[in-house]
Amino acid sequence: MTGAARFAWFVVGLAVALYVGWAFAPDSAFYTQLLNGHRLLGIASLLKIACLLAGAVWAFACRDLLEAGNPARPAWFLLSLGLLSMLAGQLCLAPFQIVSGETPFPGPGDIFYLLAYPFLISALFVFLNAYREAGLPLGPAFERVLLSAAVAVLAAFILRPVAATPGPLLDRILTIAYPALDLVLLVPLVLLLRMALRLRGGHAGEVWLLLLTGFVFMCAGDICFAYFQSLGEEHLDPFVHATFILAYALVAGGAHRQLRILRS
C-alpha cells in the first residue's frame, strides 16, 4: 500500500470514528462546542463527495484500461455510472447540508440516488457473468432460487415496519424504495461474494473484498436510514453517515486496487 493510500484510509477511519463518537456522545463538549451538527453534516457531505468522485473516476479508468471485448469492461463502466449518479445525488444535497445544515428528504438528490441502482445492479450482474466466463463457479440453479426466496422473505421482514409508518406518500415510497433496491442488489452481491472467496489471497481477491464490503455497508446504510427515518430516530443519523462514508470509501478503494493491478 502506498503512503497516499495509507493516509486516505487513516482519514476514512478517523471520519468513521468521529461519526460513531457523535452517535454515542452527542452532548459532549467536542460535539457541541468544537464541532456542531451543522459542521459535522457539512464534513460528511464533503467526504462522501470525495469518495464518490474518486470511485467514479477510478472505475472509469479501469474500464478504459481493459481492452474492448473484455467481459469485465462494461461492468466497470456501469459501476462508474452508478457512482457518478450517486455523486450527482450527493451534490444536490451538499448545498443544503453545508449552508443550512439540513438534509431535504425527499429532494432532487433522490432522483439520482434511485437512478444509481439500475447501474449498480447491472454492474454486479455483468461482473457475475464475466467471472463465470473466467471459470468461477456460479453454483447450482436451485441455490440461486433459494437465495432469491430468502431475499424475498428478508424483504417482507425488513420492509413491513417501514411500510406501516404513517407519513406523506412520497416519503413512504422513497423510504421503502431504498432498502427494496438494496435487497435486489443483495442477490448478485451474495453470488459474487461466494465467487470472491475463491480469489482470497490474490490481488483480485483484495479488489473484491473491498468492493463487496463497500456494497454491504451501502445496503446496511440504506436499511438503517429507512428505519431511523420511519421510526423518528434521527438522532442515530451519525451511524448512517459513518456507514455511507465507509461504504463509498471501500468501493472507491476496490476500484483503485483494480486500477493499480491494471497499471502494474
Partner 1 sequence: MTTTETVAAVVKVLAPYIGDTMARSATEAHCQKLGIAAANSVSPDQLDSLLGKLGGGLNIFLGREKSAAVIGEVRKTLGAPGAAP
> Could you list the residues that contact partner 1 (CB under 8 A)?
65-67, 70-72, 130-131, 133-136, 197-205, 261-262, 264
Judged by beta carbon, residue 49 or residue 199, the one nearer partner 1 is 199
Judged by beta carbon, residue 1 or residue 14, the one nearer partner 1 is 1
* Minimum CB distance to partner 1, residue 197 (Å): 8
Q: What's CA 147's distance to the chain center, in Å?
A: 21
- Residues 97-102: contacts with CB under 8 Å, at least 24 apart: 97/41, 97/42, 97/44, 97/45, 98/41, 98/42, 98/45, 98/46, 100/38, 101/37, 101/38, 101/41, 101/42, 102/41
Q: Which three cell numbers stand for residue 139?
A: 453454483
* Minimum CB distance to partner 1, residue 63 (Å): 11
* Minimum CB distance to partner 1, residue 72 (Å): 5
DSSP string, 127-190: HHHHHHHTT-----HHHHHHHHHHHHHHHHHHHHHHHTS-S-HHHHHHHHHHHHHHHHHHHHHH
Q: Which three cell numbers stand for residue 149?
A: 426466496
* Minimum CB distance to partner 1, residue 212 (Å): 15
Q: Which three cell numbers stand for residue 97?
A: 447540508
Judged by beta carbon, residue 35 or residue 130, the one nearer partner 1 is 130
3-class secondary-structure state, position 120 = helix
* Minimum CB distance to partner 1, residue 67 (Å): 5
> Length of the chain, please?
264
* Minimum CB distance to partner 1, residue 58 (Å): 14
Q: Which three cell numbers stand for residue 65?
A: 484500461
Judged by beta carbon, residue 163 or residue 199, the one nearer partner 1 is 199
Judged by beta carbon, residue 91 or residue 130, the one nearer partner 1 is 130
* Minimum CB distance to partner 1, residue 84 (Å): 22
Q: What's CA 218's distance to the chain center, in Å?
A: 3
* Among 45, 49, 38, residue whose Cα is nearest residue 101: 38
Judged by beta carbon, residue 25 or residue 262, the one nearer partner 1 is 262
Residue 34 identity (one-letter amino acid):
L
